[in-house]
A and B are shown apart, each in its own frame.
Chain A
Amino acid sequence: MSVIKLNNLTKDYGDGNGIFDISLEVAKGETFGFVGTNGSGKTTTIRHIMGFLKSDGGTASVLDMDAWTDSPEIKRSVGYVPGEIAFPDVKTGTDFLKIQAEFLGITDMTYANYLIKTLQLDPSANLKRMSKGMKQKTALVAALMGDKEILILDEPTTGLDPLMRASFMELIAEEKKKGRTIFMSSHLFEEIEDTCDRVALIKDGRLIDIADMEKIRYHNIKTYKIEFNNSNDYKQFYGSGFNVIRKQDNHNQVTVEIDDKNVNELFKALKGLDVKFISEKRYDLEQYFNKFYIKGEQK
């Protein structure tokens, strides 16, 4: 069963701004990443899922309910971290979380307190004087404390330092283990590729591709960069029939792509040659999506 379903979702703000014909499905228990540069339409898409925006065309549904008309009902199952951090006009983080718990009908704060501890948040601080990272943590606690089936996170790690980002990612992994469905946007490939099962790339309001992280993580074509100590060996190597994708004569350096099952051929070919170094370039999401980006636009 798909938990979130977008069908040709369109919002046209004119001048090519907006989102156009976005279709995707997120299955139950899936962690779905949504990447794209700033202004590519990630937040606009999420706002439709949350029922804040009414589409110009197409539909967005959550748990088979219409995201616009059944929005309050859907929210019983959704935890949300907005892309912009702005809290209601209350004094401290504790005040805010208490009122938020009331909105959500939570009476038992055990889980909220666990989250506060994990994220090392001091909620008694004045909301207005909190650092960006502190605010983001408060927003995360507010979204997670309801222990909802679905989590929608709009750039949730903004403002977090690397250590906090790591503990946040651990929390997400925990939620994932519980079988939660997670929809998360980011402009950072690294955090998406570590946590997500599938990743959609959006560019200029259009969905470019959806990548299966499993295939990227266990990609069978590997890229190796090899540098030789002398040009004779270098020439001998690249003449031996490997799929050379790049060569630099002045450095005696070649980059080759080799299927895992042929990797022994590589070692046989290198035997007896004077290798300066060999390194494997990991195949990652960025590389996968690179082909969709025009040079210069890459984030």
Chain B
Amino acid sequence: MEITSTMKKKKTGLISKPLLKQSIKANWVLWVISTAVICLFVVLITSMMSSSTIVDMLKAQRGNNFDINALLGNMFYGMMGPMVPIIYIVITANGLVASQVDRGSMAYVLSTPTKRSTVAVTQMLFLIGSLFITFTLLSIFAMASQAAVFGNVAVGNTLLMNLGCFIEMTAIAGICYMCSCLFNLSKYSLGIGGGIAVWFFLAKMLGNFGDPAMPMGADALKIFNYTTMFSLFDTQSIVEGTTAYIWKLAILVAVAVVTFAVGITRFKKKDLPL
């Protein structure tokens, strides 16, 4: 029996289906948990708002066309929302490349005709794709709960909030993925990629406390807003209907493009201890 002769000479494409399958098998549990938690979060928060005095005020001001995103924007999309996806991103980005190089299991993929660039692109698409599905589901749950609780849905702004948050998460995923491609040891990939992500998150929280909208009276904390990339997701601008959020999100897109590109390029050229 000669398997070799019957084997099709498949051209290796940009994406490796078996690798994608492997990545799904390895990461789906964490993805399901993080997506479920964030969706549950938005449902709970929206329903808790139904009886708040702030919502009553909003209703009085704008009638039935009020936008719950005015409240959810900063609080949910700006702070709590990203927390769960960040955990998913930090762990998964490391697991997609660095940890497989560190442990040596990448050898099994690269001892097949799969190109390094195919590996790097496939893993990137898995990471971005999984986040995209998360935020698609989050948009659906956010709008469904708005419909159920208030009877009206702010479709446009809800989609913009989710798109913005998705772009922000993709940018941080790019940074973590780049670290994952740069380092052969998990500890450096996790430490540096995760460290940056955690810093951005904490700085955003601290910065928020200095926000004049928040009655904390700690204006000096505003300075932290300049130390976190997350400030570029301008929820205020979306709610107010100004255009400032557009160029800020464009920067986040640029960060994502550059970091993923650097990661993939480096992975193609570096020495792998496999």
Which of chain B's residues 94-110 have a Cβ closer than 8 Å to chain A? Answer: 95, 100, 103-105, 107-110
Minimal Cβ-Cβ distance residue in A for B25? A90
Give the docked Cα–Cα distance between A84 and B12 (Å).
26
- Residue pair B272, A53 in contact (C-beta under 8 Å): yes
Do A52 and B12 form a contact, CB below 8 Å, given A73-B113, A89-B25, A99-B22?
Answer: no
Q: A53-B272, A86-B104 are in contact. Are A105 and B7 (CB under 8 A)?
A: yes
A72 and B4 CA atoms in complex are apart in Å by: 16
Q: 1/0 contact trace for B11-37 toward A, CB 8 Å?
A: 010001111011001100000000000
Are B110 and A87 interface neighbours, CB within 8 A? no
Given A89-B26, A105-B10, A148-B4, A75 contacting B113 (CB threshold 8 A)? yes
Cβ contact within 8 Å between A52 and B110: yes
Contacts of A99 in B (CB 8 A): 18, 21-22, 25
The CA of A76 and the CA of B112, in the complex, are separated in Å by: 7
Question: Which residue of A is nearest B109, CB measured?
Answer: A103
Name the contact of B105 in the complex, choosing from A50, A73, A86, A91 (C-beta under 8 A): A86
B62 at interface by CB-CB < 8 Å? no
B214 proximal to A (CB < 8 A): no
Residue in A closest to B2 when the chains form the complex, CB atoms: A147
Chain A 83-114 residues near chain B, CB threshold 8 A: 84-91, 95-96, 99-100, 102-106, 108, 110-111
Question: Does A82 reach chain B (CB closer than 8 Å)?
Answer: yes
For the complex, what is the distance from the CA of A79 to the CA of B111, rounded to whole Å? 7
B93-135 Cβ-contact flags toward A at 8 Å (1 or 0): 0010000100111011111111110000000000000000000
Q: B225-274: which have CB < 8 Å to A?
A: 269, 271-274
Residue of B nearest to A114 (CB): B1
Would you call B7 and A52 a contact (CB within 8 A)?
Answer: no
Complex Cα spacing A103 to B113, Å = 8
User: With the chains together, A82 CA to B107 CA distance in Å?
Assistant: 7
Q: Cβ of B6 < 8 Å from any Cβ of A? A: yes
With an 8 Å Cβ cutoff, the count of chain B residues facing the other chain is: 38
- A142 CB-CB contact with B under 8 Å: yes
A78 touches B108 (CB 8 A): no
Interface of chain A residues 62 through 88 with chain B (CB within 8 A): 71-73, 75-76, 78-80, 82, 84-88
Query: Contact: A54 with B271, CB < 8 Å?
Result: yes
List of A residues within 8 angstroms of B110 by Cβ: 50-52, 71, 75
Decide yes or no: A86 and B114 within 8 Å by CB, A50-B274, A108-B3, A147-B3 being known contacts: no
With contact pairs A110-B1, A148-B4 given, residues A72 and B22 touching in the complex (Cβ less than 8 Å):
no
Neighbour of A84 across the interface among B18, B104, B269, CB < 8 A: B104
B residues near A142, Cβ cutoff 8 Å = 108
Cα–Cα, bound, A149→B9 (Å): 15
Check A80–B111 contact: CB distance below 8 A: yes
User: A52 touching B271 by the CB < 8 A rule?
Assistant: yes
Our pick among B8, B103, B272 for the contact of A105 (Cβ within 8 Å) is B8
Closest chain A CB from B130 CB (angstroms)? 15
Nearest residue, chain B, Cβ from A142: B108
Within 8 A of A (CB), among B61-106: 95, 100, 103-105
Query: A85, A90, A100, A143: which contacts B26 (Cβ < 8 A)?
Result: A90
Is A88's CB under 8 angstroms from B26's CB? yes
Question: Please, how many angstroms separate the alpha-carbon atoms of A89 and B28 in the complex?
Answer: 11
Residue of A nearest to B107 (CB): A82
The answer, yes or no, to whether A47 is at the interface (CB within 8 Å) is yes
A36 on the B face (CB < 8 A): no
Instruction: Tell me the nearest residue of chain B to A148, going by C-beta.
Output: B4
Note all chain A residues with C-beta closer than 8 A to B26: 88-90
Q: Are the CB atoms of A146 and B3 closer together than 8 Å?
A: yes
What separation, in Å, do the CA atoms of A96 and B265 have in the docked complex? Answer: 28
Chain A contacts for B103, CB-based, 8 A: 86
Residues on A with C-beta less than 8 A from B9 are 76
Q: With A75-B112, A76-B113, A89-B95 in contact, do A147 and B105 touch (Cβ < 8 Å)?
A: no
Known: A52-B271, A75-B114, A103-B109. 14 other contacts (CB 8 A): A52-B272, A52-B274, A71-B116, A82-B274, A86-B104, A86-B105, A89-B26, A89-B95, A91-B25, A99-B18, A99-B22, A102-B17, A108-B6, A110-B1
Pairs A–B under 8 Å by Cβ, sample size 7: A47-B274, A52-B273, A53-B271, A82-B104, A89-B26, A102-B17, A104-B112
